[in-house]
Amino acid sequence: MFEDQQPTAVEALMKTDAEFRRLYQRHKELDSKVHDADIGVLPIDDTTLHGMKVEKLHAKEKLQRMWDSRAQTRPIN
């Protein structure tokens, strides 16, 4: 997530915004678990996997809204 953004900008936001940092880390954790489940390394039932995917999507959407909000309030150089 945010691969097309400057890593320093993402890191700066994670340092200054605890909620963004928490959501970013949770999204990353869910992404890893979903990937492991998809390739068969993590045995998990379909209902739990679906719930993890939904939570991951919600985290991603909220992170994007937070990022976009930050971009709108940031002065343009």
Residues 31-72: pLDDT tens digits?
A: 999 999 999 999 999 999 999 999 999 999 999 999 999 877
- HSE, CB side, 13 Å, CA atoms: give it for residue 45: 2
What residue spans define the domains of the chain?
A: 20-72
Enumerate residues 6+ apart whose C-beta is below 8 A from 21: 14, 15
Residues 16-25: pLDDT tens digits?
A: 999 999 999 9
pTM, entire model: 0.83
Sign of the alpha-carbon torsion through 66, 21, 13, 8: negative
